[in-house]
Chains A and B, each alone.
Chain A
Amino acid sequence: MGMTMTQKILAAHAGLESVEAGQLIEADLDMVLGNDITSPVAIHEMDKFEKKGIFDREKIALVPDHFVPNRDIKSAENCKCVREFAKQNGIVNYFEVGEMGIEHALLPEKGLVKPGDAVIGADSHTCTYGALGAFSTGVGSTDMAAGMATGKAWFKVPSAVCFRLSGKFAPRVSGKDLILHIIGMIGVDGARYQSMEFTGEGVAALSMDDRFTVSNMAIEAGAKNGIFPVDGQTEEYVRTHAPEGSTGSPVYRKYEADPDAPYTAVYDIDLAKVTPTVAFPHLPENARTFDDIPDIAIDQVVIGSCTNGRISDLRSAASILKGRRVAKGVRCIVIPATQKIWMQAMDEGLFKTFIEAGAVVSTPTCGPCLGGYMGVLASGEKCVSTTNRNFVGRMGAIDSEIYLASPATAAASAVEGRIADPRRY
C-alpha cells in the first residue's frame, strides 16, 4: 500500500522503508522548539535525565514570545530561565527581544525549517511548518525535554484526510477563510489524530503566507499536522530565506504522497466558492459566512499572531484601512509577527496608514492572542481577531467573545465598528 506525504517523512526519519497508520515509531528530529511558557517546564525536566546535555546545539530553537517583552516578574523569571539555559548550552537559535518574533513566523523566516524536515515544538501551532512540506507537530514540555536530550521523539503514525483544492480565491478571500471553512465543515475534532494533506492544482494559487495560515490551524481541527506539497513557490521561499551566514543553496528533501496513498476521507474544495468566513464564540468550528451573520457591534480588533501577522496580512488590512478611520469606540491593535515583518511594514508605509486610521502598532508578541497582555478583554466585550482560538476566556474575561476572521474582515470590522464584510471595500 502507498504512503501519504507525512508517512513518507516519518518513515525516512525512523530509518524505515515504509510505515503504516497506527504504527509506533521513534523518529530523528531536525529541530526542537520551545517558548517562554513551555521551555521552563522542559528545562526543569532536563535536570532529571541521568545523561546530561543536549543532542545538538544547532537543532534547538528557543523563542520567548508569549509574555515578551516581559509582562510581569514571573514572566521575567521564566524568560531568564530560558536565556540562561540557552547560554549554558551554547544554543545557537535563541532569539532575544530585538531579534525575536512569534515563533511560528520566525522559524521559517530564519530558514530553520526546510521541506522534508521532522520538527517538534512545545507549542500546539508548531504544525505551521507543514506549509513548507515539513512534518511538524506540537508536543508538551516533557517531549521537548526528551527531544532536546536525545534528538528523538516517539510518534503514532497518523492516517490522513485529503483536501483537494481547485480554482482560486475571489478578491478579499484568503487562507484564513479557507481554513475556517474547512474547520466549520469537519469540526474541531474532524481530523483528530490524523494528518491533513492539501493537494490539487488549487495549491499553486495559494501564497506561502496563505499556506502558513492554513497549516497553522490544522490543530484547530484536532490534526497532528497539516501539510502542503513542495512546489516552485516553496522552493523560492526556501531560497530567499536561507539561514544567516549560510552559503550555497539550501539542502532539503521533497516528499510526495503515493498515488495510492490511503486517505480516510477526501474533500474537494473549489477556492472560488470560499467566501469571507467568521468563527463565532466559543469554538473555531462555529464558522459562518456573511449570508448568516447578524449585526454585531464590537469593542476591539486584533490583527496579528502566528496565524495572521505576516506581511501579506498587514498589507491586506492596510489596503482597507487606508484613508479610513477606525470606528469610534473601537480599539484596533496591529501586531507584526517578527522584527523583519515590522521593518518591512514600516518601509512600505503601512504603519502610517494604521496610525492615521487610529490603530496602534505593537512590537512582536503573542500578547492578546492568549489573553496575556496588550489587549485583554473586559467582561462582555467583543473582539474580531485574526488569531486562531476563540475558546471561553482565551483573550480575557470569561464572558468576553472572540470572533475569528481574516485580516481583511478584521480591518473592515474595525472601520464599521461591527462584524463587516470585506468585499464591500
Chain B
Amino acid sequence: MESAHGKVFKYGDNVDTDVIIPARYLNTSKPEELAVHCMEDIDSSFVEKVQKGDIIVAGKNFGCGSSREHAPIAIRAAGVKCVIAENFARIFYRNAINIGLAIVECPEASKEISAGDTVSVDFSSGIITDETTGRKFKGQTFPPFMQKIIDAGGLVNYINESRE
C-alpha cells in the first residue's frame, strides 16, 4: 500500500469547492489547466509553492459546496498527494475516492499539525507522522468496500474489474 511524504499547506474550516477551483475556470476540465488556479481565491501563492507530493491539512467540512469533480482533480493535478482534514463534505469525499485522491479524516492531526511541517502518512494503517514535531496520529481507515475502489485506482477500474 502507498504512503505520502511531503510538506504541509494548512487551511481552516469549510474550505469550499469555489475556492479550491473557482467556477470561472470551469469551462475546461483539463487537469493541467485546472491545477494552475487551484486554491487561488484562498491562497494565491499556493500554486507557486506547492511541490509534488505535498499534503493539505484542513479543518472540518473540507470540500463543501458544489459537486464539481474538478476540485479533487485540481488538487491532485497541482501535485498534492493527500488531504488530511477533521472531516470532509460528502460529495468531495465520494469524488476523492472515485478518482483515487488520498484523503484521511483525523481531528487531532487537523488541529496539531502546522503549516510547513513535514508529514508522512501510511494509508494502510492510517498512521500520520509529523516529522517536524515527532508526533504521531491515528487517522481513520476506509471500510473494505471503499478500500477496494481505492485499490482498484478509482470507481471506473473497480466497475471494469467487477463486471468481468
Spell out A's residues near B (CB within 8 Å): 24, 37-38, 40-41, 44-45, 48-51, 66-67, 71-72, 74-75, 78, 121-124, 126, 138-143, 145-146, 149-150, 154, 188-189, 192-193, 219, 222, 224, 283, 370-372, 389, 391-394, 398
CB of B36 closer than 8 Å to a CB of A? no
- Asked if B155 contacts A392 (CB within 8 A), the reply is no
- Asked if A78 contacts B27 (CB within 8 A), the reply is yes
- Asked if A370 contacts B159 (CB within 8 A), the reply is no
Mark each residue of chain B from 6 to 23: 1 if its CB lies under 8 Å from any CB of chain A, else 0. 000000001010110011
- Asked if A393 contacts B19 (CB within 8 A), the reply is yes
* A35, B65: Cα distance in complex, Å: 16
- Asked if B155 contacts A146 (CB within 8 A), the reply is yes
Can you list 13 contacts pairing A with B, beta carbon distance less than 8 Å?
A: A37-B68, A50-B164, A51-B163, A67-B27, A74-B28, A123-B66, A124-B66, A139-B95, A140-B67, A142-B69, A142-B95, A143-B155, A370-B66
- Asked if B156 contacts A145 (CB within 8 A), the reply is yes
Minimal beta-carbon separation of B74 from chain A (angstroms): 12
- Asked if B18 contacts A222 (CB within 8 A), the reply is no
CB of B52 closer than 8 Å to a CB of A? no
- Asked if B67 contacts A49 (CB within 8 A), the reply is no
User: From A373, which residue of chain B is reached at the shortest CB distance?
Assistant: B24
Measured between beta carbons, the chain A residues less than 8 angstroms from B23 are 370-372, 394
Measured between beta carbons, the chain A residues less than 8 angstroms from B42 are 392
A sample of 11 more A-B contacts (CB under 8 A), given A48-B157, A126-B67, is A41-B73, A50-B160, A67-B26, A140-B95, A143-B95, A146-B98, A150-B159, A222-B64, A370-B18, A391-B16, A393-B22
Partner of B143, one of A24, A41, A75, A122: A24
Mark each residue of chain B from 51 to 64: 1 if its CB lies under 8 Å from any CB of chain A, else 0. 00000000011001
CB of B139 closer than 8 Å to a CB of A? no
Measured between beta carbons, the chain A residues less than 8 angstroms from B143 are 24
User: From A155, which residue of chain B is reached at the shortest CB distance?
Assistant: B94
Partner of A393, one of B41, B67, B164: B41
CB of B127 closer than 8 Å to a CB of A? no
Measured between beta carbons, the chain A residues less than 8 angstroms from B64 are 188-189, 222
Partner of A188, one of B14, B28, B164: B14
B135-164 contacts to A, CB under 8 A, are: 143, 145-146, 154-157, 159-160, 163-164
- Asked if A391 contacts B65 (CB within 8 A), the reply is yes
Partner of B90, one of A44, A121, A141, A224: A224
Partner of A189, one of B26, B89, B146: B89
Spell out B's residues near A (CB within 8 Å): 14, 16, 18-19, 22-24, 26-29, 41-42, 60-61, 64-70, 72-73, 87, 89-91, 94-95, 98-99, 143, 145-146, 154-157, 159-160, 163-164
Q: Which of B69, B99, B146, B159 gathers most chain A CB within 10 Å?
A: B69
- Asked if A140 contacts B65 (CB within 8 A), the reply is no
Measured between beta carbons, the chain B residues less than 8 angstroms from A372 are 23-24
* A140, B92: Cα distance in complex, Å: 8
* A138, B72: Cα distance in complex, Å: 15
User: From A126, which residue of chain B is reached at the shortest CB distance?
Assistant: B67
Measured between beta carbons, the chain A residues less than 8 angstroms from B89 are 189, 192, 222
* A176, B91: Cα distance in complex, Å: 23
With contacts A371-B23, A394-B18 taken as known, whether A139 is within 8 angstroms of B67 at the C-beta atoms is: yes
User: From A123, which residue of chain B is reached at the shortest CB distance?
Assistant: B67
* A49, B160: Cα distance in complex, Å: 6
Measured between beta carbons, the chain B residues less than 8 angstroms from A44 are 29
Measured between beta carbons, the chain A residues less than 8 angstroms from B91 are 124, 138-140, 219
- Asked if A50 contacts B29 (CB within 8 A), the reply is no
Minimal beta-carbon separation of A58 from chain B (angstroms): 22
Minimal beta-carbon separation of B13 from chain A (angstroms): 8
Minimal beta-carbon separation of B32 from chain A (angstroms): 14
Q: Which of A188, A391, A398 gathers most chain B CB within 10 Å?
A: A391
With contacts A74-B27, A140-B98 taken as known, whether A188 is within 8 angstroms of B69 at the C-beta atoms is: no
- Asked if B69 contacts A50 (CB within 8 A), the reply is no
- Asked if B67 contacts A392 (CB within 8 A), the reply is no
- Asked if B69 contacts A141 (CB within 8 A), the reply is yes
Q: Which of B27, B42, B67, B72 gathers most chain A CB within 10 Å?
A: B67
* A393, B155: Cα distance in complex, Å: 31
Partner of B159, one of A123, A146, A188, A224: A146
Minimal beta-carbon separation of A259 from chain B (angstroms): 28
With contacts A41-B29, A192-B61, A370-B23 taken as known, whether A142 is within 8 angstroms of B154 at the C-beta atoms is: yes
Measured between beta carbons, the chain A residues less than 8 angstroms from B154 are 142
* A71, B145: Cα distance in complex, Å: 41
- Asked if B155 contacts A48 (CB within 8 A), the reply is no
- Asked if A222 contacts B67 (CB within 8 A), the reply is no
Minimal beta-carbon separation of A112 from chain B (angstroms): 19
Minimal beta-carbon separation of A54 from chain B (angstroms): 14
Minimal beta-carbon separation of B59 from chain A (angstroms): 10
With contacts A123-B67, A372-B24, A394-B23 taken as known, whether A142 is within 8 angstroms of B18 at the C-beta atoms is: no
Measured between beta carbons, the chain B residues less than 8 angstroms from A71 are 27
Measured between beta carbons, the chain B residues less than 8 angstroms from A142 are 69, 95, 98-99, 154-156
Minimal beta-carbon separation of B133 from chain A (angstroms): 28
Partner of A391, one of B18, B68, B156: B18
